[in-house]
Structure 1
Amino acid sequence: RAVTRRHGSADETIHEHVSVGALNIDVSTRRVLLDKVEIDLTAKEFDLLVYLASRPGIVHRRNDIMETVWDTNWYGPTKTLDAHVAAVRKKLGDQRWIEAVRGVGFRFEEPV
């Protein structure tokens, strides 16, 4: 059973356990397992992964990601987001987990 907690607006629900295919995230212990192997992420990488994986298949706008994960109104370049996405992709071992949607942002999906 998924336990939820609220962050900010009423429509923004984060599950305590997020599973997408072979990827399992335990939000309360901040642990990520891929094929039962623990993945070591920085705090921001973890927050980014939880945000994207909690809503698989949805295209997330860059500014929405910055505002939610970095907790700031972000106006300007999003190179820090690109760097964090690249790091998470590398640690997951497959670029296809996080797809860039040109001119918009990113979508999280299990590679097929």
Structure 2
Amino acid sequence: MKWNLRWAAAKRDIWRPSDLLAAFTEVGFTPSLSKVAALWSGKPTTVRLDDLDKICAALNCTVADLLEAEPLAADGELEHDARRVAGGDDEPVRPTPRRGRARGSLPPN
């Protein structure tokens, strides 16, 4: 998902987080300046749906203006990348059994 807050704000001639905070205040949305700066500077991990509604109201935009779907890598590419990172070659990585403990025994009390 691509976060387009700065683009949506620029369409309203808002170029700084402090100006964005003022636009939020106009619609009754009062996050802290640090929260606004975090939304401004990068892609947020989470955004509450009611906050998303207030952001859209402040910027006179839609959710589609703020969030843009990005294509995912093909399944084969994901598997290849996982193997390369985990094992360093194209062979599948298989777990190895633990040794030294009796199977089925309980841990000590």
TM-score per shorter chain, which class?
Answer: 0.3 to 0.5
- Using the size of structure 1 for normalisation, the TM-score is 0.34
- Using the size of structure 2 for normalisation, the TM-score is 0.34
